[in-house]
Amino acid sequence: MSVIKMQMKKLNLYLIGVFVLMFLSTTLLGQKSEIKTSDLIGCWTDSREENLPKSNLNIYRSCDYKEYPFSRFRFKMDLRDDFTCSWYHLSSNDRHSMREGIWTFNNETHILTLFDLEGRIVKKFSIAELNEDIMKIKI
């Protein structure tokens, strides 16, 4: 085999290796982690004290995670397994109250949407990460 043919063979193997690595990195690293609808069920509270400056994520914690410091208003939502929900409504007269509605979750886009009983969108969240006691929401 000539030297040129051997170098071409090495180059071809090298290029094949590069393409395989590129494919694996975009396929495996580019996938979103799986979020199950059942993992969303429960009460979630805005834990804004944990938000990092210049971060594009808001932190929510399970409602019984800790005692939260006093706040004039702290958003809270309770997602039930029958897709009904309640959330803490910010009222203009400071008489905040829990409101009832329904919720949906898109497994592909990781979008959680809260609706009031008339079907109007109340809140829409893009979930970046979720486990049993922390929900990270893209802002």
The answer, yes or no, to whether residue 23 has pLDDT greater than 90, is: no
At 27 the pLDDT is 36
Q: What is the pTM of this model?
A: 0.75
Each domain of the chain, given as residue ranges in start order, spans 1-31, 37-138
Q: What is the band of 30 on the pLDDT scale with cuts at 50, 70, 90?
A: very low
C-beta of residue 35 within 8 angstroms of C-beta of residue 68: no
Which helix (H) or strand (E) segment holds residue 9: the answer is: helix 3-29
CATH fold of 37-138, please? Lipocalin (2.40.128)
At residue 64, does pLDDT exceed 90?
A: yes
Confidence band (pLDDT; 50, 70, 90) for 71?
confident
Position 4 scores a pLDDT of 61
pLDDT at 58 over 50: yes
> What pLDDT, on the 0 to 100 scale, is given for residue 120?
98
**Per-residue model confidence (pLDDT) at position 72:** 86
Cα atoms in the Cβ-side hemisphere of radius 13 Å centred on 132: 1
The pLDDT score that the predictor gives to residue 6 is: 55
**Higher per-residue confidence, 85 vs 11:** 85
Strand, helix or coil at 50? Answer: helix
pLDDT at 21: 39
